[in-house]
Chain A
Amino acid sequence: MSALRNFGSSLAACRWAMPVLAVSVMLVAVIHQQFGLFNGYVEFVLITAGINIILCASLNLVNGYMGEFSVGHAGFMAVGAYAAGLLAVKVLPGATPVWAFPLVVVFGGLVAAFIGFLLALLSFKTRGDYLAIITLAFLMIVKSAMENIPFTGGPRGLLGIERLTTLPQTAAWVIITLWVIRNLVYSKFGRAITAIREDELAAGAMGVRTREAKILAFVVSSFFGGVAGSLFAHQLQFINPATFDIIKSTDILVMVYIGGVASLTGSVLGAVLVTLLAQVLQPLGTWRAVVMPLTLVFLMLFRPRGLLGLREFTWFLPGRELLGRIKEKLS
């Protein structure tokens, strides 16, 4: 039947769409690295957008898919940034070779993941508002700890980090992040995470392993938050505790809620939109900082789930999921 053939072909098209997109993005990034497609400023904005996508997608896992309210994401970013920065500057002798950079980034992510694990343990006893407060406390503690430990450079920050974040590296990490989170969300654990969002007690009563799901969500989320932080540190070449404050966390929240909760496409959209708006609105000066939260307030009043909340671009869905939805439509 023609309807089935149509669905079949669109399914086939969708299966190839994402990998093709990923490869072409990497290709553009590598060409730029070799031949300089974009000038320094555009490259800077693109890398910033990439880092924001990673931050947004990882926060969306906890805030969107799991329905918690974590305001401490900038804390994971800080941990990752400092871990990677300190490793590169203070521990490793001499300049960091390019091949070692992904390992440095992974190290930053792992340290952040460990902290995320601790936070997950704390989340067992508390729910809702109190978890939000705990994540806030965690953020402030991380920031304050960085200010007080002389090894990290104290309040004046860490200098002398090399410029290792390039467009291909960032693009690669964006693709990895989106791929991992997508696969996680459409797996057994992903359904557990969504169940927790809908009704944690009922989920527990039904036999869903909520504790494991929470640990997994927090650990994955904080890992990628740390990765984003490591990339950030090696882009700006200078980090200080003041960068990772509640305002930064709020910026990431804005990206998540503008783009859409529980939606990876939404995360990409939100991150890119906010990054571009931040640059485009520069002439407004301080009024820029009024426009952004005002947009957020309007969005909450009229479209509380964000632009693409709970909806996903069909290209993102894994094959099995897509097949299931098509079967639904047909029956």
Chain B
Amino acid sequence: MEYFAQQAINAIQLGSIYALIALGYSLVYGVLSMMNFAHGDVFMVGAFACLLLVSIFPVPFIVALLAVMVITALLGVLIERVAYRPLRNAPKVSAIITALGCGLVIQNTTLSLSPYPRPMPRLFESVPFEFAGVTMNTLQLFIIGVSAGLMVALDFVIRKTDWGIALRATSCDRTTVPLMGVPVNRVISITFAVGGTLAGAAGVLYSQAYPVVGASMGALIGWKAFVAAVIGGIGNVRGAVLGGYILGAVEVATVVALPSTWRDLIAYSLLLVILIFKPHGLLGSPVQQKV
């Protein structure tokens, strides 16, 4: 029983990370109908930024976390400005390819600058404790808590603030929205910034839980988070969160029951099955196509 509870905590922790990153994918897809394949590498840059920051300025953990979130927000906006905005009206394929290319450029530049995986210093003093026979540590709780907090904050922002309304409006109909006086370009930039912030936070949290930072982190985790976003229904914020936790649970459950090499197989097969029966993801809604 304790064993399953322990694995459940792992699943929730992993799911939180996936959810944070998946949110970035969904937000961008919502406003631009485009899959931002460079997002996983923003996550990786977040981890590296944290490493770099603390090796130069010994700041407390919260300061580092907030600083990294700002940095990755700016990175997200930068990518959008440089690579996606010129292609706003080009065929979608070009934008996707550019996204892939950007992601690879970021990943391989980091790899060239830091070929060796690097250790992440412990910024958060994790204290193991027992609760109902289950060994947990405070870091896990922190990660789950912070992620949940960020997601709740995002949900609030989307539903209650002006920017959130503008975001949802832009997702619905990007061409008419400017007529209503909404600064579409700024909304899109803010979307990328928010996505980047969440990914950066995920990067810092993940690298505390697994304190080895390498350039290929983005590809590994980013693609999984993308799958999570699609499972939940890409473009749908709640779907991204749901997808993240589902994927986390599936991955941990797979490793528990089967050899860990089956993990990818089960995850992607699940994706395929869900897409066959619900082509727009679990919470996604079919897009009407006007002829």
By a beta-carbon cutoff of 8 Å, the part of chain A in contact with chain B is 63, 67, 69, 122, 125-126, 128-130, 132-134, 137-138, 140-141, 143-145, 147-148, 154-155, 201-202, 205, 246, 250, 253, 257, 285-287, 289-290, 292-294, 296-297, 300-301, 304
Contacts and interface: CB of A to CB of B under 8 A. Distances in A.
Given A286-B108, A304-B94, A133 B271 contact: yes
A79 B95 CA distance: 29
27 contacts: A69-B96, A125-B279, A129-B35, A129-B234, A132-B35, A134-B272, A137-B269, A140-B264, A141-B268, A144-B262, A144-B268, A145-B265, A147-B261, A147-B265, A148-B265, A246-B219, A246-B223, A257-B97, A285-B112, A289-B108, A290-B105, A293-B103, A294-B105, A296-B101, A300-B90, A300-B101, A301-B87
Contacts of B172: none
A141 B275 CA distance: 14
Interface in B111-132: 111-112, 115
B261 A148 contact: yes
B291 A137 contact: no
Identify which of A155, A202, A285, A289 gathers the most chain B CB atoms within 10 Å of its CB: A289
Nearest to B290: A201
B100 A253 contact: yes
Contact of B268 (A132, A140, A201, A304): A140
B111 A289 contact: yes
A138 B264 CA distance: 11
A129 B230 CA distance: 10
A129 B234 CA distance: 10
B87 A148 contact: no
A202 to B, nearest CB: 7
A137 B275 contact: yes
B159 interface: no
A294 B101 contact: yes
Interface in B139-195: none
B90 A304 contact: yes
A137 to B, nearest CB: 5
A155 B261 contact: yes
B3 to A, nearest CB: 24
Contact of B105 (A137, A140, A293): A293
B102 A297 contact: yes
A289 B275 contact: no
B122 to A, nearest CB: 29
Given A285-B112, A290-B108, 18 more contacts: A122-B276, A125-B279, A129-B33, A130-B275, A133-B230, A133-B275, A137-B227, A137-B269, A137-B271, A141-B268, A145-B265, A148-B262, A246-B219, A250-B104, A257-B97, A289-B104, A294-B101, A300-B95
B40 to A, nearest CB: 11
Contacts of A144: 261-262, 264-265, 268
A287 B267 CA distance: 32
B83 A301 contact: yes
A293 B96 contact: no
- Between B92, B98, B219, the greatest number of chain A beta carbons within 10 A of the residue's beta carbon is seen for B98
Top 5 A-B pairs, shortest CB-CB distance: A144-B265, A293-B104, A297-B101, A289-B108, A293-B101
A297 B291 contact: no
B81 interface: no
